[in-house]
Structure 1
Amino acid sequence: MSLPLEDIRVLDLSRLLPGPFCTLTLADFGADVIKVEDPNVGDYSRWMEPTVNGQSPMFLSLNRNKRSVTLDLKSEKGKKLFKQLVETADILVESFRPGVMERLGLGYEAIKEINPQLIYCAITGYGQTGPYSQYPGHDINYLSYAGVLGQQGEQEGKPVSSAVQIADIGGGAQMATNGILLALFERYKSGKGQFIDISMLDGSLSWLQTVLPNFLATKEESERGQSVLNGGRACYEVYETKDARYLSVGALEPKFWVEFCKTIEREDLIPHLEAPLLQQNKMKVEIQTIIQQRTLQEWLDLFDGVDACVAPILNFGEVIDNPQVVHRQLIKEIYDPNLGKIQQIGIPIKLSNTPGEIRSQAPALGQHNKDILAELGYSAEEIKELSL
């Protein structure tokens, strides 16, 4: 069975999370993703703890279905080979600070002379332009500038970081994937590639669709923990159970709120779904007192079959055994030549005719040097002399 991107070649110069997550999606759907890595260190995530038998599970998960070639882009030999790879590529993804590739003589303006059809995607914290373009940063910093972190946390408490990298993945990787596919679609019409400037700050700010438009219209700040979807209502909250577990309640719509209140035997709360903040806080205390009287399983039994948008907060062990997660194949068991049977996160995008698949495991550093050089036309003797 053919895959949607099986005729597309991607050069991936990125490291760690945002770029590799983007190219993982492309690789899962058939693209030939070649990781271009430094000969000495490679992608830093190869060595990130914890490791299992010397291998990082994070690296293995992010870099399956890819190949690895090692090139020193500071050397003339490395640059020459890289340019030859560019001639064969459709897409290039990098995550250096603005200007790094230009200083190497490998920026977009130079590269497009070699391959005008190349789609060049640069993922950075703040974008290629602007007063912050050279600032260093991590996920927590991009979310801070975007205003996202300021919205996370409880009322009158400090901002709380997310357990997942919103800026790296949502603001960076997914925006990059979208941009690449849009540019690829446009290329089919024009025959030309283009430069894609992805800023993790830009992407994170665009996620504020439920709160920022309100501020733009009214200029009234949305205080942390007080918006409808951020702890401002009793119907959309987390409550602790008798056994120190937690129940999430998302009964935003009246029909769900009615069923929730009936189940906890507090029908007197039904008319107060949209009550002012002070009353909402009072209701939260009352509901918490009720939820505290039963264990998580007891509440799940009571809410079984009830349309109230109530769910248990699961730990990872429970997540991977959850029947919905199992049914959707979100955890896949695969074979790794070094580790044997291992589990990895599955493919979340479900295409009916051309679904993605896990075809190979993450490559060792420089594992495909000889294969890729042979594809460029080098003989076995020439490859030996290059000694990559």
Structure 2
Amino acid sequence: MHTAPPLAGLRILEMAGIGPGPFCGMMLADHGAEVIRVERPSRGGMTDPARDPLLRSRRTIVLDLKRPEAVAAVRHLAATCDGLIEGYRPGVMERLGLGPDLLLADNPRLVYGRMTGWGQTGPLADEPGHDIDYLAISGTLHALGEAGRKPNAPINLAADFGGGGMMLAFGMLAAILHVKATGEGQVVDAAMTDGSAVLSSMIWGFRAMGQWRDERGTNLLDGGAPFYDTYETADGKWIAVGAIEPQFYAALRGVMALDGSEWDTQFVPSAWPALKQELATRFKARPRDAWVAAFAGHEACIAPVLGFDEAVAHPHNVARGTFVTAGSVVQPAPAPRYSASTTVAPRMAGRTEGAAILAEAGFDADAIAALL
């Protein structure tokens, strides 16, 4: 029998932003934290809260932080919370009167999470940037792309979300555990440059062992190896091949009748271009789903490259409930799963709940009316 979500009882204040900060808030809320999102009065933006999964499963209050009484209200709310998430440029929260020194003085157990691209310190700290820029200076972007072609960013997954929002969520929980052990709150400085560098730790290890070249598309995991790449099929779709280990490579050879001695040179990089060309020709001869059927049961580490709609309908994803629908929006379900705890069923952002949030925090009706 499942129990309450694992983060039930935690209270987080999220200063509204876009991208990695909201992703951190979503992750914490998905796993049971009460997350209160502080929005500024609407000036338009890139997102529709009722359709944005990043904003799911938390309550919202709208406050004009140009007004001293609104700033005071945020300080009051932060004093009741275990953590705060903000994603402004360095110094913005301090200028608002909501910097970590003040809020930690109000609440010494507070974990103050700061999400930026470059970090709170360093010569680029005050510069603007986006995921692709942070990925660029971490060295990670240089490794992404096809041989002989330009670096190619993986949408904004590696810096914004993997190296940013997920790292901040981890840092918040690590610091909250520290509070529980010591009573000492602190600032978590989550920089997407740092995080995207950490994500590439295995590749740095390969380099140290002489197993990774700086040239894109020439290595084991970057599309250089014929047995670890994507191939177009007869219907213009794609198949993903990940047959690294000997038994999987043998299965690949068996299904595709790769009998020549040249296929014995699996880990000889000089042989890879010719083998890749041969695989490309062979895969192009049949439709994608025909290849999927041919490889079924052979354990060759082969999978179809699915579009979003196809992914939602794939039997494995259906069986696991990998995608859910909330408020008519199809979206990924919370992950990971727990053996003893539930996660929170996603609910889309709706009307603001500022009056209830302030009343719970002890504000009287007149104060609430003035603030909202």
| TM-score of the superposed pair, with normalisation by structure 2 | 0.94
Q: Distance in 1 between matches of 2:43 and 2:320?
A: 36
Q: Distance in 1 between matches of 2:312 and 2:208?
A: 41
State the partner residue of 1:346.
333
Q: Is the 8 A contact 2:50 2:349 kept in 1?
A: no
Task: State which of 233, 248, 252 in structure 1 corresponds to 2:244.
Answer: 252
Instruction: After superposition, give the CA deviation of every residue in 1:51-76 in whole Å (9 maximum; x if it has no partner).
Output: xxxx662x2x1111111111222221
Displacement, 1:83?
1.2
Q: How does 1:39-188 map to 2 (within 5 A)?
A: 39-41=41-43, 44-47=45-48, 57=51, 59=52, 61-188=53-180
Q: Is the 8 A contact 1:258 1:267 kept in 2?
A: no
Q: Aligned AA for 2:23?
A: F
Displacement, 1:246?
1.1
Q: Secondary structure at the match of 1:373?
A: helix
Q: Does 1:371 align with 2:356?
A: yes
Query: What 5-or-longer segments of structure 1 have no aligned partner?
Result: 48-54
Q: Is the 8 A contact 1:35 1:67 kept in 2?
A: yes
Displacement, 1:222?
2.1
Q: Secondary structure at the match of 1:203?
A: helix
Q: Is the 8 A contact 2:69 2:371 kept in 1?
A: no
Q: Distance in 2 between matches of 1:290 and 1:29?
A: 45
Q: Secondary structure at the match of 1:88?
A: coil
State the partner residue of 2:35.
33
Q: Secondary structure at the match of 2:235?
A: coil
Displacement, 1:100?
0.9
Displacement, 1:311?
1.0
State the partner residue of 2:266.
273
Instruction: After superposition, give the CA deviation of every residue in 1:277-327 in whole Å (9 maximum; x if it has no partner).
Output: 3x1001111111111111112211211111111111111111000111111
Q: Distance in 2 between matches of 1:32 and 1:220?
A: 44
Displacement, 1:328?
1.5
State the partner residue of 2:26.
24
Corresponding residue pairs, total = 369
Q: Distance in 1 between matches of 2:127 and 2:98?
A: 21
The alpha-carbon distance between structure 1 residues 324 and 148, as it changes in their structure 2 partners (threshold 3 A), is same
The alpha-carbon distance between structure 1 residues 219 and 98, as it changes in their structure 2 partners (threshold 3 A), is farther
State the partner residue of 1:13.
15
Q: Is the 8 A contact 2:70 2:371 kept in 1?
A: no
Displacement, 1:14?
3.6
Q: Secondary structure at the match of 1:141?
A: helix
State the partner residue of 1:51.
none
Q: Secondary structure at the match of 1:97?
A: coil
Q: Is the 8 A contact 1:28 1:356 kept in 2?
A: yes
Query: What 5-or-longer segments of structure 2 have no aligned partner?
Result: none
Displacement, 1:164?
4.4
Q: Aligned AA for 1:17?
A: G
Displacement, 1:216?
4.4
State the partner residue of 2:365.
380
Moved more, 29-38 or 212-221: 212-221
